[in-house]
Every structure is written in C-alpha cells, then in structure tokens.
Amino acid sequence: MATSPSDNKLLTEVGPGTPMGDLMRRYWMPAIRADELPSPDCPPVRVQLLGEKLVAFRDTEDRIGLIDEFCAHRRVSLWFGRNEECGLRCPYHGWKYDVTGQCTDLPSEPDETGMRSRIKLKAYPCIERGGIIWTYMGPPELKPAPPGFEWALVPPEQRYLSKRLQECNYLQAVEGGIDSSHVSFLHDGALKTDPLFQGSKGNQYNQRDKMPIFDIAEFEGGLLVAARRNAEQDSYYWRITPWIMPFYTLIPPRGGNPIGGHAWVPIDDHNTWSWSISYHPRRALTKYEVAAMDDGAGIHVKGIPGTFIPQANKTNDYLMNRNAQVSGASFSGIEGVGMQDASLQESMGPVIDRSQENLVSTDNGIIMARRSLMRAMKANKDGKKIPGLTPESQRVRSCAIVLPKDVKFAEGAKHGLFCELGTDPVTV
C-alpha cells in the first residue's frame, strides 16, 4: 500500500515544530566527528541539523558548545568568530558567547544597563562518545541518558568511523539500510570482490537465492528486519538487520569481518549526514581492514580531501562505468557499496513521492518502519513513551545465522542479537 502525500510529509519534514522534527529532537544524535574540533580554542565548525544552522566550538577548558550560528547583534555568522578565553567572540563588534549561548562580554555597552545578561543564544548540550560529538535538541526536562550503542562504547582501535554528505531526505537512506533484497542485485559484484565481504559463505546464499522472504519482529528499540534465504537442506540463511529509532541501522558482518552500522542524520528535509561505522566487539581492527576502509571498501566511501563530499557524486554521474555494467563486473557500473546505494537513493529526488510506489512483500520492513515512525510521532505528541530512548533499548547487534527451517529467527538468533559486550559476533 502506497504512502499518502500527507503521511509522506509527516515522515520526511524535520524542521522545528514539525511532528517528525519534534520526535527526532527527543534523541541524542551525532552532530560532528570529535576530530573536527581537535583541541581547545580551535576554529569553530558550522553544523546544520534538522534544518537549524548552528556552530560548534571547543572552549579553553575543553567544553563543547553548540549554539546558534548567528550573533544576536547584527546576525553575523559566528563561524568567523575568535575562539578565545572560554568563549566565541564575534569579529564584527566583539560580542562574546560561552558554551551555553550566554553573552559574556558586550564591549560597547556598560554592565549597568543589564543588556549583556539578557542576551543569550539558542544552545544545545553536547557529549563526546565513540569518536562523535552528540547533541540533544529536545526539551531539557526530557533529556535521556547518553547513547548506549555498542559501537560507541568499544575502544577506539576496534572502531572505524566515516561521514559523508548524501543529497536526499534521510528516510530514503534509512529505507535503503533495511532493504536486504537489493543486495543480490545492486551489490552482486561487491559480494565477489570487496575485501570486507570475503570469507563469508553467506555470499553464496545471497547469489543463489534472489527472492528473500522477510520476517519482522519488534523489540524495545525498533525493529528486527530479517531476510530469509534458502541454505542447505532443511535450513535457512538469515540476515538480521536491526533498525533502531529513529535513524540507525546495523548491518550483519560477513565471515569474520567487522559489523557495519549507519546513522542517517537529517541536515534538513533534502540532505542527510550519512555516518558509517565498522566495529568489532572483541578485537582491534587489522591494518588490512583499516586500509580497505580508507580506500572506500565495505560501507565506506572515498571523499574529496578536506570535505565530506564523496568523490563519486551526482555532478559526475557517480563515475559510472557503463562498460563494467555491460560486462557484469558491476551490476550498476558504480564502484563501492556506499555509492551504489547513495546514487540510487539520490536518483529518486530530494524527497521521493511515496504515493507513486508499488510495494511488494520484500518491502515489509520498510512498511513497518514507516508505521513505527507514525506511531512514535503520535506518542510523542501525546506525551507517551517512545521507543529507542534508553541505552538498554539500543544494545542490539546485527547477525547472520543458519537455522533449521522450523526455528523462528527471533528465538534462534536471540543469542547473536542480544549478547554481552566484548563477545564475538554471530556470523556466517
């Protein structure tokens, strides 16, 4: 069943005062990489999240501020500001703000007027965890506990993190992340050649069975989206991809390779920060794995140096190679799993018209995710409990497993989905 234009609008608009925007503001979300603010008093960084233009800075005492980008005086961008002595000073007239947005110096006005104490910019609290600076943009009295995703808690040597611009609405990216049916087609070449896919018997199941059956189960943080393919006699191969509210997905590992994950964080209605995470719960990533990720293997993407823009992007038709497509070396002619996904998601336009879709049984995960988001928006509006807020509800893994045909995946794979930190992944 297609999504109506009115529901599509509810699902995709994220600015201040929108139902989806209000829902997303209830969660801690990735704002920037921690290394974008490498040291106290370093230059500030522009940040745009959920349609709001902000600026981030690390002050003299190593505190992190995320405040309105524009000075309260004449609306100059504080990206041009001087980061000095525990505050960001506007270079135009010297007004200075601390990490709470409070004006701490107003050189042109005497303190007796009380003007300085009345000037305060919008500011959002930040924490640093897992190589990311996270922010919370919702009602202060409803601020949840810090995020508990396993990948954010492992030691740095067990995690690889990348970030790139994706020029479409966040929901197109999320839906691609929970759609395992396209792997047998779009990523067919990568199953054979990508160094981070090697050593997995699951690759054979993906290539042999191109008609997966989907089974979906709810859990406290969102949905477990399970794609079932035929394996050996009397058994099924399951790839279980958790979708964690509101925009996180986890990708099952292939063989002994790391677990993958994404955070699809809206910049505005038409653009998304696509965060990609590879991690191993038990061991450090090898030099070989890190080098492959640096080179754009797995879910990662080669970027234009000094930016978060992919080298392959819509201005150059994603460096598409028609000869490779015709020869079968690449099903799409585009190199790399990440850009294979992004190119097609961006091709739908900034916001897809979901009333024109023709959904089928392999889209059941997408259908249920949309319904879950609609329910959560209503629950948030009504002041009721929403899923995925607690660290416990975020403590889930993806897994790949072969189970007897008479075993339900939610039971048979439970030990691989909900397990102790520091244990090996369940993978095929």
Domains located in the chain, CATH noted: 28-142 (2.102.10.10), 150-417 (3.90.380.10)
- Are 50 and 15 contacting, i.e. CB atoms less than 8 angstroms apart? yes
Rounded Cα gap, residues 322 and 313, in angstroms: 16
Is residue 257 over pLDDT 90?
Answer: yes
* Cβ count near 35 (within 10 Å): 11
Mean pLDDT of 235-248: 97
**Which of these, 374, 362, 403, 364, lies nearest to 217 by C-alpha position?**
364
CA triple 113-114-118, angle to 5 deg: 140
Looking at residue 1, what is its pLDDT? Answer: 66
Rounded Cα gap, residues 413 and 239, in angstroms: 10
pTM of the model: 0.94
Q: How confident is the model at residue 332 (pLDDT cuts 50, 70, 90)?
A: confident
Rounded Cα gap, residues 116 and 249, in angstroms: 45
Looking at residue 84, what is its pLDDT? Answer: 96
Express each pLDDT in 30-89 by its tens digit.
999 999 999 999 999 999 999 999 999 999 999 999 999 999 999 999 999 999 999 999
Looking at residue 388, what is its pLDDT? Answer: 97
Rounded Cα gap, residues 370 and 25, in angstroms: 18
Rounded Cα gap, residues 173 and 171, in angstroms: 5
The shares of helix, strand and coil residues in the chain, as percent rounded to the nearest 5, are 30, 25, 45
